[in-house]
Amino acid sequence: MRKIDLNNFQVATSETARDINSRIMLNLVRKHQPLSRADLMRRSGLQRSTVSVITEQLISEQWLREGAVGQALRGRRPTFLHLNENRAGIFGINVRPFTTHMALANLAGHFLSQESMPTPSSPDAFVSQITERIRVLMKERPHMAYEGIGVSLPGRVDLSSQKFVFAPNLGWHVEDLKERLEKATGLAVDLENEANACALSEFWFGHHNDGARNLIAVAVSEGIGVGMILNGQLVRGPSGLAGEFGHVTLDENGPKCGCGNHGCWEVYASNSAALRYYAQSKSSARNGKTKNPAHSQALTFDDLLQLAENGDLRARAALDQMAHYLGKGISMLVTGLAPEAIVVVGEVTRAWDRIATIITDVVKQRSYTHAKTRITASGPAPQPRLRGIIALVLQKHFGAPTIA
Ligand SMILES: [Zn+2]
């Protein structure tokens, strides 16, 4: 039960009950479509008249559409209801340190178009390039209504000012990104941290976590971000900074981190950490043997994965070391929060067969609470950040309304 927030509450009006029931019905159709009105009555427990009134309203607002007519043994044959998936389009933008991905999705979260570009070096260039692309896409589909833009960022957004405040791996400074993008495009903009976007993606679209109300996403890339959904709700904390487990100190004498601190979890378990382990093992091998033909050009994490897949022992050892530290941080999450599921997201899941046992073994050694947390890799669906940021915009219609 939630304590009533006397600084921010909403009293129940005569529309409240209908709003709640309407959202329940919308979600039932989304999940089990196609459904007849009789199915909706059975699944919701609502009376026929209530179901009928709400369905008519959802159809008139174009949230639902009527489809094929079903079979009935006697009486009127039922008309099936579907979610009107193309009622509105949502733009999802995933900003990563080097590449920015963009997609236009419908209400079912299906991508209607997708593209990517090098991440602009400044927020100014970002706003103008994105606005230009959005205008082109909107022109291509002039009959579609546009719901808004969700932006996934490798940093944190201050909840009250909506300013982008903490992004050690991107190099942008505090910026009014939301306001500027809204002004330029004329659409509502929501900013969200990328790990939170990953958690939302698993929560709304993930398959293996159906029914989980407590789910944590560990987004592993150049850094490590953690997105937490506890009791069915994204945890942001009062300022929007909750979840920065990647910057919790594992060793105060450890290597320097992009945040300014030393020995943070991400310094040991991110993609950059694995590349550092590989480089270190390479130079120590070179010290042993004077002739080493190995080139020392900048290796990417994808290259490292490829090397490991091809049987390179040092690449495998680097990945194993990264996995060991992923396990250490994950055991902190299992012990401290005991969620039903922890989902690892990122390129490293390509090596899941190799790293899963290392991670679970470390968690077994480190966490003595015996919490039954499933640790999995994110599903095969591409672009979890994009899908999650689209889910963030969708939540406004499909999430539970806030009252009291
Ligand atoms: Zn740090």
Task: Write the DSSP string, 128-170.
Answer: HHHHHHHHHHHHHSTTSEEEEEEEEESSEE-TTT--EEE-TTT
Contacts of 184 (CB under 8 A, 6+ apart): 127, 128, 131
Question: Measured on CA atoms in the order 153, 157, 161, 163, is the torsion positive or negative?
Answer: negative
Contacts of 36 (CB under 8 A, 6+ apart): 70, 78, 79, 80, 81
Contacts of 331 (CB under 8 A, 6+ apart): 362, 363, 365, 366, 367
| CA 168 to ligand 1 centroid distance, Å | 8
| CA 127 to ligand 1 centroid distance, Å | 28
Maximum Cα–Cα distance across the chain: 88
Q: What is the DSSP string of 45-62?
A: ---HHHHHHHHHHHHHTT
Give the pLDDT of residue 188.
Answer: 95
The residue type of 250 is L
Give the pLDDT of residue 340.
Answer: 94
Task: Report the distance separating Cα 370 and Cα 334, nearest Å.
Answer: 9
Whole-prediction pTM: 0.88
Nearest to 117 by CA among 103, 105, 106: 103
| CA 261 to ligand 1 centroid distance, Å | 5
| CA 288 to ligand 1 centroid distance, Å | 33
| C-alpha 155: how far from chain center | 13
| CA 333 to ligand 1 centroid distance, Å | 17
Task: Report the distance separating Cα 65 and Cα 340, nearest Å.
Answer: 35
| CA 256 to ligand 1 centroid distance, Å | 8
Contacts of 199 (CB under 8 A, 6+ apart): 215, 216, 217, 227, 228, 229, 234, 343, 388
| CA 220 to ligand 1 centroid distance, Å | 14
| CA 171 to ligand 1 centroid distance, Å | 14
| CA 337 to ligand 1 centroid distance, Å | 21
| CA 140 to ligand 1 centroid distance, Å | 43
| CA 156 to ligand 1 centroid distance, Å | 13
CB 128 within 8 A of CB 184: yes
What phi and psi, each to the nearest 5 degrees, are found at residue 106? -95, -175
Give the pLDDT of residue 293.
Answer: 43
Give the pLDDT of residue 169.
Answer: 73
| CA 209 to ligand 1 centroid distance, Å | 30
| CA 92 to ligand 1 centroid distance, Å | 27
| CA 204 to ligand 1 centroid distance, Å | 29
Question: Can the peptide bond before residue 34 be classed as cis, meaning omega within 30 degrees of 0?
Answer: yes
Per-block average pLDDT, block size 10, for the chain (404 residues)? 86 88 93 93 94 95 88 77 93 92 92 94 91 95 91 85 74 81 94 93 77 92 94 90 94 93 97 96 67 61 96 97 98 96 94 96 91 86 86 88 78
Nearest to 193 by CA among 337, 332, 94, 333: 94
Return the HEC string of 350-365.
HHHHHHHHHHHHHHHH
| CA 247 to ligand 1 centroid distance, Å | 4
| CA 263 to ligand 1 centroid distance, Å | 7
Task: Report the distance separating Cα 220 and Cα 328, nearest Å.
Answer: 14
Give the pLDDT of residue 294.
Answer: 47
| CA 331 to ligand 1 centroid distance, Å | 19
| CA 255 to ligand 1 centroid distance, Å | 10
| CA 76 to ligand 1 centroid distance, Å | 64
CB atoms within 10 A of CB 138: 17
| CA 223 to ligand 1 centroid distance, Å | 9
What phi and psi, each to the nearest 5 degrees, are found at residue 377? -90, 150
| CA 178 to ligand 1 centroid distance, Å | 25
